[in-house]
Amino acid sequence: MNQHTTTKESSPDMAQPGYSDDKAAVLARMKRIEGQVRGVHGMIEDDRYCIDVLQQISAVNRALESVALRLLDEHLRHCVVNAVQAGGEEKETKLAEASEAIARLVKS
Helix 50-75 / helix 23-45 crossing angle, nearest 10 deg? 160
Cβ atoms 15, 79 nearer than 8 A: yes
Q: Is the pTM of this model over 0.85?
A: no
What pLDDT was estimated at residue 104?
93
Which residues, 6 or more positions from 23, have their beta carbon under 8 angstroms from its beta carbon? 17
- CATH code for position 41: 1.20.58.1000
In a domain, 5, yes or no: no
Which residues, 6 or more positions from 103, have their beta carbon under 8 angstroms from its beta carbon? none
Each residue's pLDDT tens digit, 7-39: 333 343 456 777 777 899 999 999 999 999 999
Parent domain of 33: 22-107
